[in-house]
Structure 1
Amino acid sequence: MDFKARQIIKPELNMTQLIDVVLLLLIFFMITSSFVVQPGLKVTLPKSSSQESQPENQLKLIVTKDNAVYLDNQRVRIENLRDELQKRMMQKEMQLLLIKADENVIHGFVVHIMDIARSLHLDVGIATRALNPDN
């Protein structure tokens, strides 16, 4: 009797497609993670132990440590601030101005901005960061 050995087929998992998918996902996440970076201005807010929430519909004014003024992320000269505030108030029908001033900005400069806002009958709020109990 002539017995032949059977050919045994060993199952294999082809890893090529799996590696391709993993590399594509890696590339996708690397590219989309660059879109997550939030644009904005670097401002160190002063610390405060008391905080209250502000309404969503508000004008945001940012004052950087070199006294640059930004209204809704657009740079505004201090001489044109009154006109810009008035224009934005009419467009968006807002009554609150939230000032985010760096803690190193001169107090008189912020008071000048508050005077401009109050002359337009805007309510004024000052943004602060929470005071840590450890500090």
Structure 2
Amino acid sequence: MPLDFSPSREPLSTFSLAGMTDIVLLLLIFFLLTSNFIPQMGIRVTLPQVESSAPVERDYVTVVLTDEGTYYVNGQRVSESRLVASIRSAKTTQSALVLRADQGATIGQFATVASAAQALNLRVLMATERNRR
């Protein structure tokens, strides 16, 4: 008696897209999440808005100035009296200091950071946000 190897059922003529949509959804979530990973400091400040901004060098010392008058050097909170020493210890080969100052910060606080940078022979760059229109 010969064996019958013919399929008893008809082949599937439809293709399920459920697996494909799951993969597309996961890829979409991955790209949305990773596109928001822009290197920014964890200290919240409202940067001044300007019409255009220049790109910033990668090799710099970052000083954050909050609206309460608190200073942060590379993410570490420092007092005003220790500002120059903290910038000096953070500086290795950098030639620039990026100041991320809140809009509510005073010009006197900015002058304190600028004089500390001048004492250490650093250029001062002001971080801003581009005006969105």
What letter matches 2:45 in structure 1?
V
1:98 equivalent in structure 2: 98
1:46 equivalent in structure 2: 48
Contact 2:74 2:90 in 1 (8 A): no
Secondary structure of the 1:110 match is helix
The CA deviation at 1:72 is 0.8
TM-score w.r.t. length of structure 2: 0.69
Secondary structure of the 1:103 match is coil
RMSD between aligned residues: 3.3
Using the alignment, how far apart are the partners of 2:46 and 2:64 within structure 1? 11
Q: After TM superposition, which residue ranges in structure 1, 4 or more long, deviate above 4 angstroms?
A: none
TM-score w.r.t. length of structure 1: 0.68
The CA deviation at 1:50 is 2.5
Q: Does 1:79 align with 2:81?
A: yes
Using the alignment, how far apart are the partners of 2:103 and 2:76 within structure 1? 20
Secondary structure of the 2:114 match is helix
Show structure 2 runs of 5+ residues with no match: 1-35
2:7 equivalent in structure 1: none
Using the alignment, how far apart are the partners of 1:76 and 1:103 within structure 2? 20
The CA deviation at 1:77 is 0.7
Using the alignment, how far apart are the partners of 1:107 and 1:50 within structure 2? 22
1:131 equivalent in structure 2: 131
1:55 equivalent in structure 2: 57
Residue deviations 1:53-88 (CA, integer Å, cap 9, x gap): 111011111111101111111101110011111111
Aligned length: 123
Using the alignment, how far apart are the partners of 1:43 and 1:105 within structure 2? 10
1:113 equivalent in structure 2: 113
